[in-house]
Amino acid sequence: MSFVRKIVKGMMPYAIVRIYQNRKRGNIVPVKLKTSVSDNGKYPDFCLKASNDVLIFSNFRQNSIYREILEHVTPQLGREYLAAINDCRPGLLKDIEKIKENDIYGNPDLVEYESTGKICPSTLRYTKVLADLLNLFDSLDKLNIVEIGVGYGGQCRVINSITSPKEYTLVDIKPALLLSQCYLDGFVLPSVMKYKTMNELKKNQYDLVISNYAFTELPRKIQDVYLDKIILNSNCGYITYNDISPEYFQSYKKDELLKLIPNSFIINEVPLTSEKNCIITWKNNRF
């Protein structure tokens, strides 16, 4: 069997269909402005290629350009995420086989852990975020969730593997959205899925907004758009904060965000992945 046929045989039909549709529609996305720390030109271009080519998609989580931005959680850090999950939400690991399906696509690095078997350390990070969300907000079922900065859709898929949100809106640059849709179309998800760029978004109220690092890596002028359209209208939120954006971005500092977002407060990032990191969260009357 040829290499291409082996890859295609291992993929669910909708992932292949999505790649074919992207190519047929000529989804070529010019990237002119630097919109975040990760928007380095190479990353958006690779996401676009992976969403249009079965061979590239089959191995995208091994690509060096992609791994500059994502898929760089070390085996040791994965072990720390696993320990944190055991501490704060041990019952979540009974569904580990469902969670491990995240690693079907893209050929990620898998690490053998005693309590989980082989799993990608990045998938354990997404699982730790889910554990935090369940501890903070109890249930995600029937919620209207929005995620700012989506990678390939890994966090969304982990959440949808264990819970049943009503709607899930992914917000990012177009090339990342195309790749995430290729990935997520390979799964049956309980949520109604929506994929939006910043300018495609309407001002809307959401039950929960999630952003793993991405929001705090944006320039202030783009952060203001998301504050207006999403964050200040969202009942609850979970934003992993880091402080790595260049000075000229003038990104909001955590103290400024705490003043801007009503009822927000800080919890520790566990495990701590950088000295200044923390999690900004809030919940309003519904919860």
H/E segment holding residue 149: none
> In this structure, is residue 220 part of a structural domain?
yes
Least Cα distance to 70 among 209, 212, 173 occurs for 212
> In this structure, is residue 151 part of a structural domain?
yes
The answer on pLDDT for 146 being more than 90 is yes
Least Cα distance to 195 among 209, 179, 211, 216 occurs for 179
> In this structure, is residue 60 part of a structural domain?
no
Domain housing 146 = 133-283
**What is the number of domains present in the chain?**
1
> In this structure, is residue 194 part of a structural domain?
yes
SS3 category, 146: strand
Q: Considering the entire predicted model, what is its pTM?
A: 0.87
21-55 tens-digit pLDDT: 555 555 544 444 455 555 557 999 999 999 999 99
The answer on pLDDT for 286 being more than 60 is no
Between helix 13-25 and helix 42-52 the angle, nearest 10°, is 110
Least Cα distance to 127 among 157, 107, 151 occurs for 157
CATH number of the domain residue 231 falls in: 3.40.50.150
Percent residues over pLDDT 70 in the chain: 85
The amino acid present at 215, given as its one-letter code, is F
Dmax over Cα atoms in the chain, in whole Å?
60
> Around 90, how many Cα atoms within 13 Å sit in the side-chain half-sphere?
4
The amino acid present at 140, given as its one-letter code, is L
Least Cα distance to 171 among 137, 202, 143, 125 occurs for 202
Between helix 42-52 and helix 174-184 the angle, nearest 10°, is 40
pLDDT of residue 167: 98
Strands 111-113 and 117-119: antiparallel
